[in-house]
Amino acid sequence: MGLKRRLLYLCSWYLTPRYAPMITLDKTMLRYQIALSLVKGLGTKGTRLFLQHIHNLEEAFTHPECIRTALPQLSNRIYHQFLDTAVLGEADRILCLCESEEITPHFILDEEHYPSRLSECPDAPIILYSKGTFEAWDERHGLSVVGTRGATSYGKSVTSALIGSLSEQVSGLVIVSGLAYGIDIQAHRSALELGLPTVAVLAHGLDTIYPAVHRREAIAMLEHGAWVSEYAPGVRARPSNFLARNRIIAGLTEATLVVEAGQHSGSLSTARLALEYNREVFAVPGRVNDLMSVGCHQLIEGDRAHLLSSAEGLIAEMGWGGERIANSRPNFVAPSAPKAVSYSHPVLRALDEGGALTLDELARLLGRTIAAMSDELFELEMEGLIQAQPGGAYRLS
């Protein structure tokens, strides 16, 4: 029997009813909470309404007729999922994977462990999975830092300088981002270099890292930070997941900072969600004709973001206060934008150096599978950084 099959066999054996006394109350509750999160069609609002009428989840899954009594208006499509034992089987599988991968599930109504800022959001995930050591969600000043995957040297230097200045003036700072290429990974790296806790919000299960090239930084952040995701272990990254996870990046913190963003950057959706959640949004200006800053300029011009040119501006607006520590660096001022663009994303570099390239050519050049390469190209095209050409080629926008 293979190792994976053996593990699943032992997990299923351990979770069978005759060994129920070995399962703690917390684990029993988590089993049904995870199962509830797997019910399609409820959503966050529906789940909260459901829990106002159903107080015993174990009974709901083992004797689902009680649901019909308490919620006669519930649709058959949702009700029939409580009759399906496969839902509990999937919850058991997820719990086993969580144990083996040291991943902790947090239920949205668990006030002690679920981040309270995120729970305030109407579309917060029912279950938030976390891996790492950071749990002081509500005791820290949280700042989400987002931006284009095709960050320029200007954007990267702004990110590092700003986080450096904030770290010296704000106690209890935590940096949240998405571990993607460009501004995201620069924000994580800057926090790690300064010894700040940093949290990566991932668009897949926490049993893997995407992109794999950022695994070193991801592992390093577990010592004082965490990875979080709404996706159970085993779920792989898909293009639609990246936009969905933006609401968690926006919801976890008090403020969102957009450093560089093109006209169609996914970072703009994060900023929009932060505003919907009544959080503050800041944007760093760039050159007037810089395509990588069009989104930031639109946010500022539309009065949807505070123009940010110094750490002090953010501190004053947020009311974070704090005294500058001795021997600190001078006040942050956005460095001058470079005359030439320097691409950090390998796909953008390849297209910059090689001109128009096809999917197959890029996959071969960068050592990616066709599927992975296709997903990356989709994300970059959504951000407006590349354009599809006749004949299946791609070029820089």
Q: Are residues 151 and 298 in the same domain?
A: yes
In a domain, 353, yes or no: yes
Identify the CATH number of the domain in which residue 368 sits: 1.10.10.10
Q: Are residues 266 and 229 in the same domain?
A: yes
pLDDT confidence of residue 324:
44
What is the model's pTM? 0.78
The DSSP bridge pattern shows strands 226-229 and 127-132 to be: antiparallel
DSSP 335: P
Q: Which of 75, 101, 127 is the last residue of a domain?
A: 101
pLDDT confidence of residue 263:
86
pLDDT confidence of residue 59:
93
Query: Cβ contacts of residue 65 below 8 Å, gap of 6+?
Result: none
In a domain, 114, yes or no: no
**Separation between Cα atoms, residue 148 and residue 152, nearest integer Å:** 9
Range of the domain at 43: 3-101
Q: Which segments in the chain show pLDDT lower than 70?
A: 1-26, 322-344, 382-384
**Separation between Cα atoms, residue 380 and residue 378, nearest integer Å:** 6
Query: Cβ contacts of residue 331 below 8 Å, gap of 6+?
Result: 165, 310, 311, 312
- Extract the tokens encoding 238: 């898909």
Q: Are residues 270 and 371 in the same domain?
A: no
| 12, 99 Cβ separation under 8 angstroms | no
- Extract the tokens encoding 183: 């501004």
- Extract the tokens encoding 355: 């001109």
In a domain, 340, yes or no: no
How many domains does the chain fold into? Answer: 3
Identify the CATH number of the domain in which residue 251 sits: 3.40.50.450
Q: Are residues 150 and 63 in the same domain?
A: no
Specify which residues 231 forms β-bridges with: none
Q: Are residues 171 and 57 in the same domain?
A: no
- The C-alpha torsion from 393 through 267 and 346 to 396, rounded to 10°, is 30
